[in-house]
Structure 1
Amino acid sequence: MADYPAPHLIEFPKLGAPDIGYISVGENMASSLPFAVQRVFWTYYTPESIVRGRHAHQRTEQVLIAAAGRLIVTTELADGDIQIYRLETPCVGLYIPPCAWHTIQYSHSAVQLALASQPYSEDDYIRDYDTFRQQWSRKA
């Protein structure tokens, strides 16, 4: 089994100024991301009462970015380590390895941008919490 880094924040360059606005660039991302991006998706207009995510992955690594609004992301590793991240700056992303169960709460205005290491495959998802704990505990 491959070793993956723990969930952690990644800062992207922030160029600009308050009077003209900002741009963050993901050019030559090999220096800032631990994987090559194979898929990009975004979520928006998620009601604040909804908790999304509620899964882990077999192989897919992700970086989640709050392109707008606020995301509260909770990650849990099979060893029980739980971390809570508040994303509300578009130049900061959260790395999530395949072995992390994660849930996401959104502000109504949130736009979440996700960079993923694999194309979509339903077989990659672990959607049952007990299965996640059993599977990743065996591999640890």
Structure 2
Amino acid sequence: MPSSQRPAGLTAWRKNEGDESSTSIRRVLTHFGLELRPRNPALSRVRVDLAMAGAEIDLTALPRPAHGIDLTLRALMAGAAVRVPADWRVWWRFRGIGGMGGDGRVQRTDDEHAADLRIHARALFGGVGVEAG
């Protein structure tokens, strides 16, 4: 297993599911970095739990999804960068202490159901950045 996907322990190992070719991916990570570049056009869900770690999730290799992709991020003293194709519409909800924002080129939508990517983020002293690729 590459160091970018090394589990934090036995519990994390059991919760890590799928790979970059899967339709559903889950990662639990502490103290390391994660680079995730899904490539399955049928991807529907990604869940990443971070503690004192960082993640880079690059979705630019995917075509526009027919029904949208749900990305759930939970961060404890951690951060994540999400890169999407320039023409995708992104919806997000952020709760917690920290922040979330786009790079100014991201097409943000208020319509959760029309979004190509739906981000559900919770953070305690963490943040999420979304950028158009």
Same fold (TM over 0.5): no
Larger radius of gyration: 1
Which structure dedicates a bigger proportion of its chain to strand? 2
Bigger relative CO (Cα 8 Å, ≥ 6 apart)? 1
With structure 2 as the length reference, what TM-score do the two structures score?
A: 0.27
